[in-house]
Structure 1
Amino acid sequence: MRSDIEYSSVAVAEGLGMRDFWLYAWMRKAAVIAAHGIGVSLTIIISVLSRPGTSEWTTSTRLSYFSWHPLCMAFAYCLCLTEGILIFSSDLSLCCCKPRKYKVRLHWLCQILALMVATTGLGFIVASKNLSDSAHLATWHSRLGVCTLAASALQAACGVCVVFPKLLRLSMPPPRLKLYHVTCGLVVYLLATLTIMAAMFSDWYQAIIKGLAWWATFLMPVFPALVVMNQITKSYLPHKKISS
């Protein structure tokens, strides 16, 4: 049985000549490779800049809870969330030769890990603000972050419904549940991207990174978001329309 991505590739092949199709295929492979690389690179960059356990930024206490927050969020959303979605890409995914059941399990592992680490990161920033008597939800980054975490929890609930529709006695057909799950996942990823970009306007980040380096890291999250958006809209959503 063909996957959703294979249906999309066949449709593209029918509309293009073979030479154009192979160029298109290689461009897609290069884009997915770049998305993997940017996700890993951004996680490493933020981890190095945050220097977990240091107290240079949070002056109210020697043990800096704040420094763990960027590390947790980068690991959760730049790495786990990105890889959890790109698992289903046929263009040089890390497990492109594995059966779909294996990919689904690995997808679940990545998403559960992302949610757990993101919740831990939220705990660190709440503790840091409480120790320094700072206001909560005072910036766009913090507000977007809460929305992203709430959407992530809703996305996880949708995933449970997709996997266990009979156990939960849901009347909605599985294809429609999967469509809602995929669409919600796209919303979560876009929210996460906006939250990461908003974090780069914080005093902490701008005090460390300036000039062209700031612009480079600011634009880095955009490319994986475009790749993920293209994968979802071109591979999953059109196929759902055809099968309805």
Structure 2
Amino acid sequence: MARGMRSSLDVEYSAVGEGLGMREFWLYVWLRRLAVVAAHIMSLGLVILTSILSRPGTSLFSWHPVCMSLGFCLCMTQGILLFSADGSPFCFKSRKWKVRLHWFFQAVLLVCGATGFGFMVASKNIKELPHFTSWHSLLGVATMAATVLQAICGVFLLFPKLISTHSFPRLRLYHATCGLVAYLLATITVISAMFTDWFQALVRDTIWYIFLLLPLFPALVVMNQITSAFLPKKKITS
């Protein structure tokens, strides 16, 4: 009988925290929901603040921070967090619609990334400045490459007839892994932008540290969501 009770109480491990008391369980769930909502707000806030600082239209380069923040800070974040059940504003029950919206965000991300990259190259060409001489620019190239790679994996997932049935689960893992790497690279690239002369001439003192925290919190939420969804689940046996 004890053995039967143990087997009936076995549950899969997840990030929600089974095994805790009921009060701690609900507290943890609500903290997760608040974290997801905060990540949405911070990603949007970072785009708005970046747009205010760069004053788009004043120069060719002024469009670079706007396009990149819109693509990598907002669209990339929203495209991942819409699969979260913890406080996401995109409350589609159908996974089909979530996938479609995910692809919409990813398409806008690629367009914004390519446009922002083009504005940066054009601006440096006009000023006759060398390209890819800073850590920020090199990280940006790596981020774009990882983003294109995860998009290619996503195309095969969107059209599964292009691949074998046995490769589909593994490709889903590759797509999620590339997406996580691309997001972390994007976060590091955004943070490195805050050490450039352009940014530090506009933002100083305490406000600079606030800007530094804005991309970090959504990155933690996204990383937790992806790892919780794709890490192997284990059974609790005691």
Task: Using structure 2 for the length normalisation, give the TM-score.
Answer: 0.90
Q: 2:68–2:112: 8 Å Cα contact kept in structure 1?
A: yes
Between the aligned partners of 1:37 and 1:169, the Cα distance in structure 2 is: 38
Query: What whole-Å deviation, never above 9, does each CA across 1:27-74 have from its counterpart, x for those lacking one?
Result: 1011001100100000000011110111xxxxxxxxx21000000000
| Secondary structure in structure 1 of the residue aligned to 2:130 | coil
Which residue does 1:59 correspond to in 2?
none
Residues 220-243 of structure 1 show CA distances to partners (whole Å, capped at 9, x for unaligned) of: 11100000000011123335x89x
Check whether the contact 1:179–1:237 (CA below 8 A) recurs between aligned residues: no
1:30 is matched with which residue: 24, 34, 43?
A: 34
Q: Which moved more, 1:201-210 or 1:94-103?
A: 94-103
Match of 1:204 among 198, 205, 211: 198
166, 176, 188: which one aligns with 2:170: 176
Q: Which residue of 1 aligns with 2:62?
A: 67
Does the C-alpha gap of structure 1 residues 8 and 196 become closer, same or farther in structure 2, counting only changes over 3 Å?
farther
Q: After superposition, what is the alpha-carbon deviation per residue over 1:71-93, rounded to whole angstroms, capped at 9, x for unaligned?
A: 00000011000000000000111
Name 2:6's counterpart in structure 1: none
- Name stretches of at least 5 consecutive residues in structure 1 with no aligned partner: 1-6, 55-63
Identical-pair percentage = 58
Q: 2:55 & 2:72 partners in 1: Cα distance?
A: 18
Residues 165-193 of structure 1: per-residue CA shift (max 9 Å, x gap):
31x24465211111111111000000000
AA matched with 2:170? R
Task: Give the counterpart letter for 1:105 in structure 2.
Answer: R
Asked if structure 2 preserves the Cα contact closer than 8 Å seen for 1:8 and 1:234, the reply is: no
CA drift of 1:19 comes to 1.0
- 2:101 is matched with 106
Q: Is the 8 A contact 2:47 2:70 kept in 1?
A: yes
RMSD: 1.7
Letter in 1 for 2:81: L
1:12–1:36 CA distance, 2 compared to 1 (3 A) = closer
What is the alpha-carbon distance in structure 2 between the residues aligned to residue 172 and residue 153 of structure 1?
24
CA distance in 2, matches of 1:154, 1:171: 21
Alignment partners' CA distance in 2, 1:34 and 1:12: 18
Written as runs of structure 1 = structure 2, the 5 A alignment for 1:1-244 is: 12-54=16-58, 64-166=59-161, 168-170=162-164, 172-239=166-233
Distance of 1:12 and 1:98 partners within structure 2: 20
> CA 1:193–1:13 in structure 2 vs 1: closer, same or farther (change >3 Å)?
closer
| 1:135 counterpart SS class | coil
Distance apart, 1:96 and its partner CA: 2.5
Structure 2 unaligned spans of 5+ = 1-11
Count of residue pairs brought into register by the alignment: 224
Compare CA radii of gyration and give the structure with the larger one.
2
